[in-house]
Amino acid sequence: MSTPPTELEPFRVALDAWLDERRADLAAPSGDHGTLDEQMAHLTTVKRLTFDAGWMRWGWPERVGGLGGSTLLRGYLGEALTARGCVEPGIYSLTEVLAPTMIDYAQPELAATMVPRLLRGDETWCQGFSEPGTGSNLAALTCAATKVDDGWCVNGQKVWTSLAQYAQRCVLLTRTGGPDSAHRGITALFVDMDSPGITIRPIVTIHGREEFCEVFFDDVIVPADRQLGDEGQGWAVAMDLLPFERSTALWHRGAYLHRTLGELLQAVEPGALRPDEVGEAFQQLFALRARSRATQHRMASGDKLGPETSIDKILLATVEQQVFDLALDGLAGDVLLGDDAESERWRSRFLYSRAATIYGGSAEIQRNIVARRLLDLGSD
Ligand SMILES: Cc1cc2nc3c(=O)[nH]c(=O)nc-3n(C[C@H](O)[C@H](O)[C@H](O)COP(=O)(O)OP(=O)(O)OC[C@H]3O[C@@H](n4cnc5c(N)ncnc54)[C@H](O)[C@@H]3O)c2cc1C
């Protein structure tokens, strides 16, 4: 492939042409109907094709196998793949959540070895933050790491760990300080998921998929060079990662919702939806897009993302549920009772949309962040 331009507009044109050319190879064999196994297998194919052709490497630093250029380029790649239905955005965009923090906090040799594997689809990674008693109040986590010769020994449990059963590695938050050390006593580790002592139990979601898991750690040894940041710096690692979960990943999800709303308008009988409600959903979608675009540009200009990305997440969760509430209005019989593949697909997506106000920090927690950290409205 000739070197594509690093400016966004020419990049778009060149990428779109390539995507058209490779349409057949990139199309998901089962469309949106596939099982999670099928979607994961196809994601690997898409990542490999786009990485080997260079597209996936643009927007990532050269020191981790990227080709440099603006982060807007990878924002557009995910948008284009999602808008064309080549990938499911939730599983595709995990790279955007986990790789930037790895680049910021891993030892340079580790990041240089591991990040290209994630970008190329040779590996899947997962995020081990939440625990049975610890989701919103992350600073109370208890999964413990104690010092051993040249490393750490981990004991404890994580839950809701997306794709853990497919993952080769996990970005894991552990308690290394005393029980009352709160956010000061947390250390982040990069753990091989095939380490002895790890047990993974998938959990079936309301939409019938084994998308996340319980993960148990029983005397799991993690070498010292797998520590991300300094000992006790795990809270900073988490605070670095969470805004990434609300930036490029949400830009990609916005493209998916845009496509979904278009599909819905095609699927319903004329007049089945109230035009003002459709208009409201469009308005919300474009509000998300405008907000998320500004976030993409701030990231591209090197700004550190922070609590203001909670606004992006609130917009995303609101519009995701609005779009699928419309689906329920317009396709009620199919969504609730239909047993054909298309009905099951709408039902599954409707049910998953309920998780939008939970994953990546619940709607209430995002509003608390906006109130306290952006509007200075005080604490509890
Ligand atoms: C689809 C999906 C995928 C996920 N993937 C991952 C993953 O890969 N890795 C990972 O670590 N976690 C993951 N999670 C977990 C997710 O981060 C947590 O579910 C979320 O942070 C909420 O935590 P919780 O479930 O413990 O609920 P809780 O914190 O117990 O909250 C329960 C309810 O109480 C409300 N609440 C809690 N505290 C407050 C407060 N102070 N003020 C107001 N309201 C409050 C919450 O908003 C919520 O409505 C995933 C979750 C989902 C749904």
Q: Check pocket membership of 127 for ligand 1, CB cut-off 6 A.
A: yes
Q: Check pocket membership of 162 for ligand 1, CB cut-off 6 A.
A: yes
Q: Check pocket membership of 165 for ligand 1, CB cut-off 6 A.
A: no
Three-class secondary structure of residue 255 per DSSP: helix
Instruction: Kindly list the catalytic residues.
Output: 245
CA of 180 to the centre of ligand 1 (A): 21
CA of 360 to the centre of ligand 1 (A): 7
363 Cβ contact list (under 8 Å, min separation 6): 314, 317, 357
Structure confidence at residue 333 (pLDDT): 87
For the beta carbon of residue 305, count every other beta carbon within 10 angstroms: 18
81 Cβ contact list (under 8 Å, min separation 6): 19, 26, 46, 50, 87, 92
Range list of H helices, the chain: 8-21, 23-26, 36-52, 71-83, 89-92, 94-105, 108-119, 234-245, 248-267, 275-300, 309-330, 332-337, 341-353, 363-369
Residue having the nearest C-alpha atom to atom 50 of ligand 1: 359
CA of 161 to the centre of ligand 1 (A): 12
Q: What pTM was computed for the model? A: 0.96
Q: Which atom of ligand 1 is nearest to the CA of 162?
A: 8
Q: Which atom of ligand 1 is nearest to the CA of 138?
A: 21
Distance CA 158, CA 69 (A): 36
Cα 361 to Cα 54, 132, 168, 365, 374, distances in angstroms: 33, 15, 24, 6, 16
Q: Check pocket membership of 357 for ligand 1, CB cut-off 6 A.
A: no
Structure confidence at residue 162 (pLDDT): 97
Structure confidence at residue 38 (pLDDT): 94
Q: Check pocket membership of 212 for ligand 1, CB cut-off 6 A.
A: yes
Instruction: Report strand pairing: 125-128 vs 151-162.
Output: unpaired
The beta-carbon contacts of 34-42 under 8 Å, at least 24 apart in sequence, are 35/209, 36/209, 36/210, 36/211, 39/88, 39/91, 40/91, 40/124, 40/163, 40/166, 42/87
pLDDT digit string (tens) for the chain, length 380 residues: 555 567 899 999 999 999 999 999 999 987 767 899 999 999 999 999 999 999 999 999 999 999 999 999 999 999 999 999 999 999 999 999 999 999 999 999 999 999 999 999 999 999 999 999 999 999 999 999 999 999 999 999 999 999 999 999 999 999 999 989 999 999 999 999 999 999 999 999 998 899 999 999 999 999 999 999 999 999 999 999 998 999 999 999 999 999 999 999 999 999 999 999 999 999 999 999 999 999 999 999 999 999 999 999 999 999 999 999 999 999 998 888 999 989 999 999 999 999 999 999 999 999 999 999 999 997 65
CA of 118 to the centre of ligand 1 (A): 26
CA of 361 to the centre of ligand 1 (A): 6
Distance CA 293, CA 312 (A): 10
Residue having the nearest C-alpha atom to atom 16 of ligand 1: 359
Side chain identity, residue 27: A
